[in-house]
Amino acid sequence: MEIQSGVKDAILVVSLQGMLDASNADPVEEEIVSIDLLPLKGVIIDLSGLTYMSSSGIRVLIKIRRHLKNANIRFAISSLQPFVHEILDLADLLNSFEIYPDIADARAAFTT
């Protein structure tokens, strides 16, 4: 799992590449949750590079969403691969997240 992140206009974009499963879910969660949230108005998780996601990955997304909600920071997911969309749909979680087709659309939603 490779994690890349960057902040622009107080919006943090975290791009995940590779497999998100039980072997790396905790370190991914810890890395994202440990980020200083004070200057941020939103966090976007870019899943365009994800090649696999297990139920542990779903848990990570839910925990990140809860953490950011408690900090009153907006959270979105972008660029879902079809298999991730299907997993979230089967778990009945599609309506639990702000989901955008790409980072640009998510950024635009955060600035309105």
Domain spans of the chain? 2-107
pLDDT tens digits for range 86-104: 999 999 999 999 999 999 9
pLDDT at 18 over 80: yes
pLDDT tens digits for range 20-77: 999 999 999 998 888 888 889 999 999 999 999 999 999 999 999 999 999 999 999 9
Residue closest to 107 by CA, chosen among 33, 6, 12: 12
Give the SS3 label for residue 48: strand
Prediction pTM value: 0.93
pLDDT tens digits for range 19-29: 999 999 999 99
2-107: what fold? Transcription Regulator spoIIAA (3.30.750)
